[in-house]
Structure 1
Amino acid sequence: MRRKGTSGNGWLRLPFWLTYLFLYAPIVVLVVMSFNRNKTPYSWGGFSLDWYGKLAGNADIRTGLVNTLIVAFGSTALSTILGTLLAIGLARHTRSKLLDALATLPAILPDLVLAIGLLVFYSAIKMTLGLHSVLIAHTVFGMAFVAAVVRARLTHVDTSLEEASRDLGATPFATFIQVTLPTLAPGIVAGALLAFTLSLDEFVIAFFTAAPSQPTLPIVIYSMVRFGVTPEINALATLLLAVSFTVVIAAQRLTKLTEAL
């Protein structure tokens, strides 16, 4: 016996599945064709892992990967520290809707607007472009995401623990290190993972703020795609996809953990 209200409405699920098909079918094709033996990505010639092996021999990809990891790890460290302090300051010491809006603005602004703004700023202060300029740019929008995640965690923190620590004679710094940071740790880790995956895949801001001699991996991929999609590019995109999915899922699990605690 069908439940009341569900009979005859199966056709409503059709747009839902068509939307998912439209979004994820190209990704599935990309992953499958990365194992294609043929050089052309449009015809299947058998299963092969050769294209993954050739990635290690591509000097441009190695250079782009090293630059991307330097920027990703550096910006993640900076955005985690600054974002955590920003979240604590906004939640505990400053009550201002204007400051709240400014803190989240880098995450809301379109990447193109933020990239042009940063490029104009670098030009105004006569800063040369390089990995340092990309690192600063990624830190700017990464700290906004970290601050948002840490603030969500702060809503579940019992402030009486900090008060008890101070009543027992602990200094504010000792209380921050021994009480506040451990309770915020799941949120901090989740924010750091989110900032890392955003930096790893980010293209627009890096394209505007990087030096031509020091491209990040997404810029290298863009320069290769302009001459046609090959199974080698599919293999590289598949690896990036796997890393991004892993980091995002880990961040989501930690975020749910912070809400449950």
Structure 2
Amino acid sequence: MTQTSDILCIGSVLWDVIGRSASHMRQGSDVPGRITRLPGGVAMNIAMTLARFGMRPTLLTAIGRDAEGDELIRACTQMGMCTDHIYRSEDLPTDRYMAVEGANGLIAAIADAHSLEAAGAKILRPMLDGPLGSAAAPHAGPVALDGNLTLSLLEEIAHSPAFALADLRVAPASPGKAERLLPFVRQGRATLYVNLEEAGLLCQTEFTDSASAAQALLKRGAQRVLVTDGGRSASEGDADRLITQTPPAVLVTRVTGAGDTFMAAHIAAEAQGADRDQALSRALHAAATYVSGETPL
């Protein structure tokens, strides 16, 4: 890895197509609003926030050799990310994500990450036997990993000697993919970033607050967890300590990418030497700034 790269971001890098309306919406609503297309995906959202906080992320993902893929690579490079190790497929299209948001939150979303899933372990070649590391010489730096990878590939990462020394930070891509994080819970490896619903899916129960969810995940074997619960609370814990804080109250104008912003801000804060209380507080403030419609810096 180049000397100027601070963290590996592994997972989905795609185009986000987001429709937003100031109106409350329900199934079948047809309302005015704005439709935007921006670089997105869990790994990309994390990398963008890390870049805004002064870090240089290296991306490991799958992007097609199509016009959309070329445009996406250019966008990543312009934002200061290293794209040298991205797997470029000749026959797989660049992935996309589509969401509709109203004044009452996320209405519906579809993640088309089939190319990333089809590429599988090919995206990890630079870490498994390449310039970023190998089983004999594991990468020892921070790694942000998202749950858009297949369960079998996440299982492989959880057990792989090539990741044995990495500071793994893992988040599910969505509640529907939360159970893909179970290998990291069982192995007691990685810091997990989940919301209350995702924590419930991992523990096969329902929680009413972030602290109880964090404690349950730790009891099931997780090494370290951060559990968010919207504007109500967030808890960070390991075997030694559990911290709970309340995020700032803000007017919510967008929600897609809020969890990724929280995770990236927390990673950046710790990289800059913040203690656990400070890192959680900075992450919550960054996420609150993001959902209010501003750029978290």
Q: TM-score range by the shorter chain?
A: under 0.3
Q: Using structure 1 for the length normalisation, give the TM-score.
A: 0.25
Task: Report which structure shows greater RCO (CA 8 Å, sep ≥6).
Answer: 1
Q: TM-score, normalised by structure 2?
A: 0.23
Higher percent of residues as strand: 2
Pick the structure with greater CA Rg. 1
